[in-house]
Amino acid sequence: MPRPSRESYGDQKPPYSYISLTAMAIWSSPEKMLPLSDIYRFITERFPYYRRNTQRWQNSLRHNLSFNDCFIKIPRRPDRPGKGAYWALHPAALDMFENGSLLRRRKRFKLMKTDKDRLENELAALANINRFMFAPPPQPAVPDTAVGPHLAQQSAPVAGTTSQVQRPKRSFTIESLISPDKPAVEAEAPAATPPVAFLYNPVAVAAPAPCYGSLVHPPSYVHPSLVMGLVHPHPGFYPQHPLEHPTAPASNVFRFSPTLRSV
DNA sequence: CGCTAAGTCAATG
DNA sequence: CATTGACTTAGCG
């Protein structure tokens, strides 16, 4: 028999749009981002209705991911091999259900072209940064056992940690990061310490100005968009489920960085 | 009822 | 898996 306290609509279609279902899945995850397969799993596990006609609704779901600006595609880190990319919620879209309906929003969430372009650039840069940080070490002279993407480990998020990473020989400028396919001038400026080296390092990411308010405790979790410098967390508020608190004003959750216009 | 968000089908990369 | 378009369906004010 169906469990009472669980979200169960039996074989009936749940009163949620694909967008809200997807948002739930993404938001329920610890990292606030999921690969497509996990989104599928989330939905099929709790809503038996979606255990059938999978071809149909999964196609529609994919259409939604691509079509709606509220979903952003985060490039998969090389040290996390797997199928597709990760999908996350655009931080400015967390209040998109403010009308209370999970069936139909009042307005579509659409980014202005200028914002879309910037996002595109940041994601491209992220992809390059990933390549940079998790690139295979250049032929270690000593057979070291512990060489590799140990950065990925969540332990010891200390800024100094990143200095141990072995960098491939290439210049490291913002320019080269933004342009994915530019073959990087070799043997150039002595590779300035890249601030981006702190990516995925919660403490380091949280620290740089401008942070709004005072960050007493560094957040234990950093959203991928945060990592891209799009937003800064408001201490104490970040992990909240927007779908469980549809009426909660989004302003309590985020402050936006100057580079991201609130839409 | 009208507007437009959401869902479907499907070609294409 | 991801993107896109053309078209239908249906929620909400």
Say which residues have a Cβ less than 8 Å from residue A148's Cβ, sequence separation at least 6.
Answer: A79, A136, A137
The one-character DSSP state at A215 is -
Q: Straight-line distance from CA A194 to C1' B6, in Å?
A: 43
Q: Using DSSP bridges, classify how beta strands A254-256 and A86-89 pair: parallel, antiparallel or unpaired.
A: unpaired
Binning pLDDT at 50, 70 and 90, where does residue A132 land?
low
Residue A72 forms beta bridges with which residues?
Answer: A88
**pLDDT digits over A51-106, tens only?**
999 999 999 999 999 999 999 998 887 777 899 999 988 877 888 888 788 999 99
Residue A4 amino acid letter = P
Least confident of A31-35, A39-43, A56-60, A173-177: A173-177
Q: Straight-line distance from CA A66 to C1' C2, in Å?
A: 7
Binning pLDDT at 50, 70 and 90, where does residue A181 land?
very low
* pLDDT for A233 beyond 90: no
Chain C bases near protein CB atoms (7 A cut-off): 1-6, 11-13
Rounded distance, CA A112 to CA A69, Å?
10
Mean residue pLDDT of chain A comes to 62
Chain B bases near protein CB atoms (7 A cut-off): 4-10
Say which residues have a Cβ less than 8 Å from residue A64's Cβ, sequence separation at least 6.
Answer: A18, A19, A22, A71
Rounded distance, CA A171 to CA A165, Å?
15
Report pTM.
Answer: 0.62
pLDDT value at residue A174: 39
Binning pLDDT at 50, 70 and 90, where does residue A221 land?
very low
Residue A110 amino acid letter = K
Rounded distance, CA A41 to CA A8, Å?
15
Binning pLDDT at 50, 70 and 90, where does residue A129 land?
low
Rounded distance, CA A23 to CA A18, Å?
8
Residue A77 amino acid letter = R
Rounded distance, CA A125 to CA A119, Å?
10
Lookup: nucleotide whose C1' is closest to A105 CA: B5
3-state secondary structure of A220: coil
Rounded distance, CA A134 to CA A150, Å?
9
A99 touches strand B (CB under 7 A): no
3-state secondary structure of A178: helix
